Amino acid sequence: MLREVARRGSFTAGGQALGFTQSAVSRQVSALEDELGTRLFDRLPRGVRLTEEGRAALVHAEAALERLDAARRDIAALRGLAAGRLRMGAFPTAETELVPRATAAFRTAHPAVSVGVTEGPTHELVGLLRTGEIDLAVITAHPDRVAELPPLALRHLLDDPILVAPPQRHPLAHRGVLGLGELAEETWIADGDTAEETLLSACLRKGFRPRIDYVAREWTAKQGFVAAGLAITLVPSLASSAVRPDIVLAALHPDDAPIRAVYTATAPGVAASASVEGFVPFLVEAAAAMRERAPGRPGT
Amino acid sequence: MLREVARRGSFTAGGQALGFTQSAVSRQVSALEDELGTRLFDRLPRGVRLTEEGRAALVHAEAALERLDAARRDIAALRGLAAGRLRMGAFPTAETELVPRATAAFRTAHPAVSVGVTEGPTHELVGLLRTGEIDLAVITAHPDRVAELPPLALRHLLDDPILVAPPQRHPLAHRGVLGLGELAEETWIADGDTAEETLLSACLRKGFRPRIDYVAREWTAKQGFVAAGLAITLVPSLASSAVRPDIVLAALHPDDAPIRAVYTATAPGVAASASVEGFVPFLVEAAAAMRERAPGRPGT
DNA sequence: GGTTGGCATGCGGGCCGCGCATATCTCCTC
DNA sequence: GAGGAGATATGCGCGGCCCGCATGCCAACC
């Protein structure tokens, strides 16, 4: 009202422009003047004119209205992916290819949305989701144990079968599909020195304790030992594209190792933001592309 | 509400901090969300948390509130003369001493108020007052013709009797008080070449037409002719302090020349701003000081 | 499994704010 | 000089908005 009245020079005209009567405007202005303790308009015989105080009030009022408009614009930008930020988390193997591919495609499509990725194991990501520190997580879990997770909104992306990497010269290499039992006598290299901590727990369920002579957390180191023919190791299929060309991968028999599934996860009760809604399809797309490139191995 | 709820993490606590119930806050937030078309808070089991959109809205809302506070501060500053501007006008002679003295004292007392002075004859100043281009004017008028002015809020400052400046060697010099009739044979220097346009119209009312041999608008030039003994001239007492020391001034007999009065004037119906209210006392003070310094000549 | 803390919502009431009508004032015109 | 035009201020009455109360429901905590 302040603005319209100031622009038009009378309560009557200002009110008309806003669909109010002169009496409503008169009272509104009066009330504002009372609240501010000063006259905002000089009442002249043919209309009104801003006082010095009125000019000051008008400047600030227009600035305030502009901020409210800016809020609307900002929110529209967020919803249209013309702005915003996506904080996501992923377990390490997912960052070999799945998450980077999806992120690259998303950034090309929506360059104004900034994307941050935190690496961590699934249980940590779940905590970050629940505290609101990340908006979206790529996690992994055995399909029949999903129920053990805290309540989350999950979406299945792909399955991640475990491959085995025997040395080139190994008699079992190039067989294509191996049973885990056939590897009971092999020497292993793994993340930890007991089978329980690693993927090798599958061996325990199969009835033997693998012999772990070498321990290395770094993937590069493991590959070195494998390529030198010193040990064999297990490789999640998600990481298969990062394996050295002189290492051959073979599938494990499906019954031998429970297949881990990969999911996107968001916190329950938290409405998915536009950036989350927008990012998930790129993860789905990247997962599909990876399945196609390695036909017959990682499957849904 | 947005701010309090965001700060405290729940509708209940936010409402309590503002003296509202949880239900009122819930509805307010809901209404705002509907208007903006987006969720501002995620509803969690133990409270709420801002969404990305909510954060954007909050930033702008706080900025808008800050502008409203700034408006209050600005207005308080204007009213406390800690800010603001005063546009005034004055007729030329008033700017010899009266207005400069008042302005200097005002600026010392209220350095944050900027003062602008427009010079012009009374009738122009009246126009500027009525259009709102100046807030305060120092004008002059014959006391019995004040009623002819358009309606204004006037305040009498002082009377401005007319003095005469005869040459030093003139036989009438040093007489102290002169009658206008005694000057009928003199040679004059004035602003225009006919008596009607100038202060010399007083001579016509006295029954003689003064002989104007010299015309000069600049005061310096007039004083030069007077000091050289070539002519005499009339001097408003307001300007007497700017007269060269080698020129002697004499009062005219009160009946001979109508005494002009000096007033402050503001537009009718326009509430005097704090700066106007604040400036007028300094004009009154300056006028009093000038009366004291020239005792017996300019009077109330 | 009960308790607690929190949000959503139906219901009722009070107050605010608007429109209508009118009083009043100034300017303009005849 | 009188009347009309155009503007604001204000009494009056009504409708709608907004709040508080009470309740329902849900998830987390003990």
Helix (H, G, I), strand (E, B) or coil at A53: helix
Decide if B37 and A85 are in contact by the 8 Å CB cutoff: no
pLDDT digits (tens, 9 = 90+) for A146-201: 777 778 889 999 999 889 988 777 777 777 788 888 888 889 999 888 887 778 88
- How does pLDDT run across A106-118, given as a tens digit for each residue? 999 999 999 999 9
B2-79 with B86-158+262-293: one CATH topology?
Answer: no
Quote the pLDDT of residue B287. 96
Q: What is the DSSP string of A165-184?
A: E--TTSTTTT-SEE-GGGGT
Q: Which residues partner with B85 through β-bridges?
A: B114
Q: Output the CA–CA distances (angstroms, integers) from residue B282 to A112, B105, B109, B113, B247, in the order listed.
A: 60, 7, 10, 14, 30
Mean pLDDT of all residues in B50-66: 95
Q: Report how far residue B197's alpha carbon sits from residue B43's, in angstroms, rounded to the nearest whole number.
A: 84
> Tell me, what's the pLDDT at B198?
77
CATH class of the domain at A85-160+260-293: alpha beta
Determine the distance between B270 (CA) and C25 (C1') in angstroms: 15
pLDDT higher than 70, residue A86: yes
- Per-residue pLDDT averaged across B13-19, rounded? 93
In chain B, beta strands by DSSP E:
41-44, 47-50, 85-90, 114-119, 136-141, 153-160, 162-165, 177-178, 187-190, 211-215, 233-236, 250-252, 260-266
Average pLDDT over residues A121-128: 91
The band of A21, judged by pLDDT with boundaries at 50, 70 and 90, is very high
CATH number of A2-79: 1.10.10.10
Amino acid identity of A197? E
Residues A29-45 pLDDT 10s: 999 999 999 999 999 98
Name the least confident of A211-220, B26-35, B175-184. Answer: B175-184
Closest in A36, A64, A132 to B75, CB measured: A36
Is B51 in Cβ contact with A269 (below 8 Å)? no
Find chain B residues with C-beta within 8 A of A54's C-beta: none
Helix (H, G, I), strand (E, B) or coil at A159: strand
Q: How many angstroms separate the CA of A24 from the C1' of D14?
A: 15
pLDDT-based confidence at residue A203 (cuts at 50, 70, 90)? confident
To the nearest 5 percent, what fractions of chain B are helix, strand and coil?
45, 20, 35
Task: Tell me whether strands A41-44 and A136-141 are parallel, antiparallel or unpaired.
Answer: unpaired
B-chain CB neighbours of A78 within 8 Å are 38, 52-53, 56
Decide: B300 and B290 in contact? Cβ < 8 Å: no
Pairing relation of β-strands A153-160 and A260-266? antiparallel
A58 contact partners, CB below 8 Å, separation of at least 6: A2, A3, A6, A50
Q: What is the pLDDT of residue B48?
A: 95
Residue A54 has which token pair? Answer: 């009125």
**Greater confidence, B18 or B196?**
B18
Q: Is the pLDDT of residue B147 over 80?
A: no
Q: B52-79 and A52-79 are packed helices; what angle lies between their axes, rounded to 10 degrees?
A: 170
Residue B7, pLDDT > 80, answer yes
Model confidence at A300, pLDDT cuts 50, 70, 90, reads: very low
CATH topology of domain B86-158+262-293: D-Maltodextrin-Binding Protein; domain 2 (3.40.190)
B51 to chain A, any CB pair closer than 8 A? The answer is yes
DSSP sequence for A181-207 = GGGTT-EEEESSSSGGGSTTHHHHHHT
Model confidence at B294, pLDDT cuts 50, 70, 90, reads low
Radius of gyration of chain A (CA): 32
Residues in B closer than 8 angstroms to A49, CB to CB, are 132, 270
The answer on pLDDT for A217 being more than 60 is yes
More confident site: B106 or B232: B106
Contacts for B205 with CB less than 8 Å, ≥ 6 apart: none
Q: pLDDT band for position B172 (50/70/90)?
A: confident
Q: Which comes out higher in pLDDT, residue A190 or B175?
A: A190
| Domain ranges across chain A | 2-79, 85-160+260-293, 162-252
C-alpha B143/C-alpha B145 separation (Å) is 5
Name the average pLDDT for chain B: 89
Burial class (CB in 10 A: 0-12, 13-18, 19+), B116: exposed
Instruction: Place B169 in a pLDDT band, splitting at 50, 70 and 90.
Output: confident
Percentage of chain A modeled with pLDDT above 70: 97
Distance from residue B253's CA to nucleotide D14's C1', rounded to whole Å = 74
pLDDT band at residue A298 under the 50/70/90 scheme: very low
- Contact present, B83 and B112 (Cβ < 8 Å): yes
Backbone angles phi, psi at B78, to 5 degrees: -60, -45
Mean pLDDT confidence for B275-282: 96
Alpha carbon distance B135, B88 (integer Å): 6
Q: Which helix (H) or strand (E) holds A50?
A: strand A47-50
Strands in B114-119's sheet, in edge-to-edge order, are: B114-119, B85-90, B136-141, B260-266, B153-160
The two tokens of residue B296 are: 């017996």
Would you state the pLDDT for residue B204?
A: 82
pLDDT band at B300 (very low <50, low <70, confident <90, very high): very low
Grade residue B238 by pLDDT with cuts at 50, 70 and 90.
Answer: very high
Q: What is the distance, to the nearest Å, from the Cα of residue B174 to the centroid of all Cα atoms in its chain?
A: 38
- Distance from the A249 Cα atom to the nearest Cα atom in chain B, whole angstroms: 44
CA distances in angstroms from B219 to A196, B97, B101, B214, B216, listed in the order given: 109, 15, 20, 13, 8
Average model confidence (pLDDT) across chain A: 89
Q: Per the structure block, which two tokens stand in for B264?
A: 């402050």
> A23 beta carbon < 7 A from strand D?
yes
Find out whether A96 and A238 touch, Cβ atoms under 8 Å: yes
pLDDT for A278: 96
Cβ-count burial A251-272 (b if 16+ within 10 Å, e if not): bbeeebbbebbbbbbbbeebbb
Q: Say yes or no: Cβ of B40 under 7 A from any atom of strand C.
A: no
Q: For strand D, is any atom closer than 7 Å to the CB of A173?
A: no
Output B10 or A298, whichever has higher pLDDT.
B10
Q: Which of residues 229-268 of B touch strand C (CB under 7 A)?
A: 268
Residue B297 predicted with pLDDT over 80: no
Cβ neighbours, 10 Å, residue B10:
17
Per-residue confidence (pLDDT) for residue A294, from 0 to 100: 64
Domain A162-252 class? alpha beta
Question: Any chain A CB within 8 A of the CB of B46?
Answer: no
Least confident interval from A18-27, A197-206, A214-223? A197-206
Residue B98: pLDDT over 60: yes
Name the 3-class secondary structure at B198. Answer: coil
Per-residue DSSP letter, B165: E
Of A236 and A299, the structure prediction assigns the larger pLDDT to A236
Q: In what order do the strands lie in the sheet with A233-236?
A: A177-178, A250-252, A162-165, A233-236
What local confidence, expressed as pLDDT, does residue A65 receive? Answer: 93
What pLDDT is recorded for position B11?
96
* Residue B8 · residue B14 · CB < 8 Å: yes
Shortest Cα–Cα distance, B71 to chain A (Å): 5
Note the pLDDT of residue B262.
Answer: 95
| Distance in angstroms (rounded) separating the CA atoms of residues B129 and B87 | 10
Alpha-helical segments (H) within B181-218: 201-206
Query: Region B211-240: what's the mean pLDDT?
Result: 90
